[in-house]
Homo-oligomer: A and B are copies of this chain.
Amino acid sequence: MSDDSGPAPAESEPPAESGSAPAGTAAAGGGGGGLTRRALLVGVGAAGGAGAMFAAMGALGLAPESQERDFVPPQRSDFSLTGRGAAKVVVLGGSIAGLTCAYELGKAGYDCTVLEASDRVGGRTITLRAGDRLDELGGETQTAAFEEGTYFNAGAGRIAQWMVTLDYCRELGVPIETFVNNNASAYVYTRGMAAPVRARTARADLYGYVAELLAKASDTRALDRRLTAEDRERLAEFLRRFGDLGPDLTYRGSTRRGFETYPGVGEGVPLGAPPSLRAVLAAGTGRAVTIDFGYDQAMPMFQPVGGMDAIAGALADAVGRDRIRTGTRVTGIKNLPDGVEVTHQGGTLRADYCIATLPPHLLARLPHNLGAQVTAALRTPVPVAAGKIGLEYRRRWWETDDRIYGGVTETDLDITHIWYPSHGYHSRTGLVVGYYNTAENAELYGRLSHRDRRTRALTQGKKIHGEKYRTELRSSVSIAWQRRPHIEGGWVTWPSHEGGFALLQRPAGRVYFAGDWLTHLVAWQAGAMESARRAVTELHRRVLQATS
């Protein structure tokens, strides 16, 4: 691979530490390894891959006696390219897609270089910790003033069980823990309600009334045509159970609503009678109650221990940090008869193939010779705004005062969700995600300064949690993904999966495309990984054919 921007570091020389590297290798639990061991590990990883790196971690005492239970050795993948390829590949973007491409190609013998414009790898999987800086287009720079140990997953935040993301965690030895996506004790609050209620209360009331209405409709034989007597009996049995109905098939409330005083020595004081059917329907809590019904949101979900960036960090370590050039913005892509030429801020780089994983709307702006159809295709998907604010509190009032351990409060206020942390339970401090919103709401917050975002988020959250939501705040950081340099969006939507979407699955000459935006798993790391697997599979097939 020719490159006039200067020689790559020799393999025996560990790359210098920089503030841009994810804090700590995955299995060390984040930030615990110390510089010397870190640098050594990175070097071992670059030279010997994940297996050698993890063996070295054991030797270095990063998996000591007291950590045995948490140390998870890397495991074999269910995916691998068959046969060895010797081509040089330049990967545009140190995103999850780009890192996965370089990782899988590297295992199959390819010589990969990853060009990343920002000073971090991981794309939209930013985890912010004490001292991390966050720039925005528009000029504002925030610095996380968190306590040591606090982190904020400002991008990707959860993983479903069936997603390939977990396979990479297993393969790379990134420890995972449960992410609580739905909590019966969290709140539901809509503008149709006088005051927030617990999710369990909203659910009990909706299910109770639905069960009663159907039980009575079924009982009055309105459904006779569809139901036999036996069916009706079974349905009634289910509805009694589903709605916690009385013997007369009426819903009058239930201990499922929750308690003023939970049972103990005494039988407890239940919350009491539910609002009327009409009030329950008017409250509009249906979205909140059904939010985990979808295949991508069903409980339980998962997260890496210590921060989502552990996955990107482990991939980068396995690729070899010396193969990844951060702070290197790509300025052009040219197909040549026998290769590709990529220009970047520091010079020009030639390779046999290129995989472009930048967001499509940014790729569309790059000078290239891939043709007008490719440009049109890249311009087709529409970027969507998305934003989050991390609110660090002096004490975990949601646990001690509200008895909410993880999970999400749903609201139709412009903050949309409040996430409580699924880790560090009972610690002294903790971080709540004060909004996670998209589209118009995210644009609204994104236009504000951080200070004004915080003020607005606190004003809204106070309607649910009261004054402590403001008074106990310790620090905060907000992100507007549409204002992130080199990304400029939360994700994209495709008007159709014909045309451009299909076109970009195929290479343009020697340039391949990959990213979550080229899948039906947009905005998920799993999408980026699946797309990467497709791209490297096709590239490898071509290389093997060319050399056979």
Could you tell me which A residues sit within 8 Å of B by CB distance? 28-30, 32-34, 62, 64-70, 72-73, 75, 148-149, 161-164, 166, 169-170, 175-178, 180, 182-185, 200, 203-204, 206-207, 210, 213-214, 216-218, 220, 222-223, 226-228, 231, 234-235, 237-239, 241-242, 244, 255-256, 258-259, 262-268, 277-278, 281-282, 284, 286-287, 289-290, 292-295, 298-300, 302, 306, 400, 403-407, 422, 424-428, 497, 505, 518-521, 526-527, 530-531, 534
Interface contact A185-B162, CB-CB below 8 Å: yes
With A33-B66, A238-B281, A286-B242 as known contacts, state yes or no: A299 contacts B176, CB within 8 Å: no
With A222-B217, A242-B210 as known contacts, state yes or no: A67 contacts B66, CB within 8 Å: yes
With A178-B300, A520-B268 as known contacts, state yes or no: A161 contacts B282, CB within 8 Å: no
Interface contact A426-B68, CB-CB below 8 Å: no
Residue A520 contacts which of B67, B164, B267, B519 (CB distance < 8 angstroms)? B267
Interface contact A299-B299, CB-CB below 8 Å: yes
A-B interface, 10 closest residue pairs, ranked by CB to CB distance from nearest: A184-B298, A32-B66, A264-B530, A178-B178, A222-B222, A217-B217, A263-B520, A238-B286, A234-B281, A214-B214
Taking the nearest CB of chain B, how far is it from the CB of A427, in angstroms? 6
Cα(A70)–Cα(B66), bound, Å: 11
Nearest opposing residue in chain B for A427, CB measure: B72
Query: Within 8 Å CB of A217, what residues of B?
Result: 213-214, 217-218, 222-223
SS class, residues of chain A in contact with chain B: loop
Known: A258-B295, A267-B497. 12 other contacts (CB 8 A): A32-B65, A32-B67, A67-B67, A69-B424, A162-B403, A177-B425, A178-B180, A178-B405, A180-B300, A203-B293, A235-B281, A267-B520
Interface contact A405-B183, CB-CB below 8 Å: no
Residue A213 contacts which of B163, B185, B214 (CB distance < 8 angstroms)? B214
Query: Within 8 Å CB of A282, what residues of B?
Result: 234
Interface contact A295-B530, CB-CB below 8 Å: no
Query: Within 8 Å CB of A162, what residues of B?
Result: 185, 259, 262, 403
Taking the nearest CB of chain B, how far is it from the CB of A19, in angstroms? 20
Query: Within 8 Å CB of A176, what residues of B?
Result: 425-426
Cα(A65)–Cα(B33), bound, Å: 8
Copies of this chain, tallied across the complex: 2
Query: Within 8 Å CB of A204, what residues of B?
Result: 293
Cα(A292)–Cα(B184), bound, Å: 10
Interface contact A256-B404, CB-CB below 8 Å: no
Cα(A156)–Cα(B231), bound, Å: 38
User: 6 A–B contact pairs at CB < 8 A?
Assistant: A32-B67, A72-B425, A178-B405, A180-B299, A299-B300, A302-B425
Taking the nearest CB of chain B, how far is it from the CB of A181, in angstroms? 9
Residue A265 contacts which of B68, B206, B534 (CB distance < 8 angstroms)? B534
Cα(A315)–Cα(B14), bound, Å: 48
Instruction: Identify the interface centre among A182, A234, A295: most chain B CB within 10 Å of its CB.
Output: A295
Query: Within 8 Å CB of A404, what residues of B?
Result: 161
Cα(A174)–Cα(B281), bound, Å: 42
Query: Within 8 Å CB of A222, what residues of B?
Result: 217, 220, 222
Query: Within 8 Å CB of A278, what residues of B?
Result: 228, 231
Cα(A200)–Cα(B298), bound, Å: 8
